[in-house]
Structure 1
């Protein structure tokens, strides 16, 4: 049985986050679909972080 600690490991999330915003690997295969997927992921991560900041600011202002 896995412990609760295993469910809250965020290492993979942070690793993906930093991989999306760094320069692409020149040896990796590229395609239009892959570029669009990474672009949409960047937009969604930025929007999510912006919304979290807005929610925190609203909670503090109460």
Structure 2
């Protein structure tokens, strides 16, 4: 996967952080948890990207 996929992962992580912050500020636990889930998904995808990059070298 390339730079576009890494950018999507970064955007997903940023959106997750925003959701978490808004959920925390508004005391909306569902939105806060959704943000945390989005961040976790992005982290897992980034880890997969790093593994793929390591094998390409």
TM-score over 0.5 for the pair:
yes
TM-score, scaled relative to structure 1: 0.53
C-alpha distance 18-40 of structure 1, shift in aligned 2 (>3 A): closer
Please identify runs of 4+ aligned residues in structure 1 that moved more than 3 A.
Answer: none
TM-score in terms of structure 2 length: 0.57
- Name stretches of at least 5 consecutive residues in structure 2 with no aligned partner: none
1:20 paired to 2:20: no
Unaligned runs of 5+ in 1: 1-7
Q: Highest CA radius of gyration, 1 or 2?
A: 1
Higher helix share: 2
